[in-house]
């Protein structure tokens, strides 16, 4: 696709009814921006939590499969929200965005993020059950801990008082 064809495609996109609605409706663009930021928070927050778990944080508390069972749907919803709102906002000002100096960087980062998603889902995560079983065999030879290393000792009594707070 040549630069002229790309510019014509962007002009066509800006003339679409969606683009017109994004530019004309008074609260649509701010609403799309807010939903876009919410989607980014859902995506990045869940990905960071899964990545931390894959790096070993809370390994004695939650299995990787449990973390991913609950957080991968959140990241998928966030990703979908980011894509839909991003495309809608882009349609309203396509030529201005495409002509900016940040456009190649943003497109490059989106492509890198897409490659990261593909590598995780079709590479690393496919073998999670294998390394979970290896970890379980390895942990079978280690002594059990009474609490996670970051939680500190469990000191409360059944009535809710700490031993030093009990009424005398």
Q: Is the pLDDT of residue 111 over 70?
A: yes
- Cα-based distances in Å from 76 to 8, 43, 67, 112: 32, 7, 14, 17
Is residue 58 within 8 Å of 26, Cβ to Cβ? no
Q: Return the pLDDT at 84.
A: 95
pLDDT at residue 114 tops 90: no
Instruction: Give per-residue pLDDT as tens, 34-61.
Output: 999 999 999 999 999 998 988 888 888 8
Q: Is the pLDDT of residue 121 over 90?
A: no
Question: Is residue 158 predicted with pLDDT exceeding 80?
Answer: no
Is the pLDDT score of 160 beyond 70?
A: no
Q: Please state the rounded mean pLDDT for residues 155-165.
A: 45
Nearest-angstrom CA–CA distance, 89 and 59? 40
Q: What are phi and psi of 43, to 5 degrees?
A: -65, -55
> What mean pLDDT value characterizes the chain?
82
């Amino acid at each position: 696709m040549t630069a002229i064809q790309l510019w014509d495609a962007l002009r066509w996109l800006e003339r679409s009814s969606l683009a017109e609605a994004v530019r004309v409706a008074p609260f649509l663009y701010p609403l799309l921006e807010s939903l876009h930021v919410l989607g980014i928070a859902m995506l990045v927050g869940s990905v960071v939590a899964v990545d931390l778990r894959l790096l070993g944080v809370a390994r004695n508390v939650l299995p990787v499969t449990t973390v991913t069972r609950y957080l991968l749907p959140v990241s998928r919803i966030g990703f979908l929200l980011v894509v839909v709102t991003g495309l809608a906002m882009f349609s309203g000002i396509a030529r201005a965005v495409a002509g900016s100096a940040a456009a190649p960087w943003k497109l490059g980062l989106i492509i890198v993020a897409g490659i990261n998603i593909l590598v995780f889902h079709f590479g690393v995560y496919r073998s999670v059950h294998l390394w979970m079983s290896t970890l379980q065999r390895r942990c079978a030879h280690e002594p059990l801990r009474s609490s996670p290393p970051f939680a500190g000792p469990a000191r409360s009594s059944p009535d809710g008082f700490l031993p030093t707070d009990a009424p005398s």
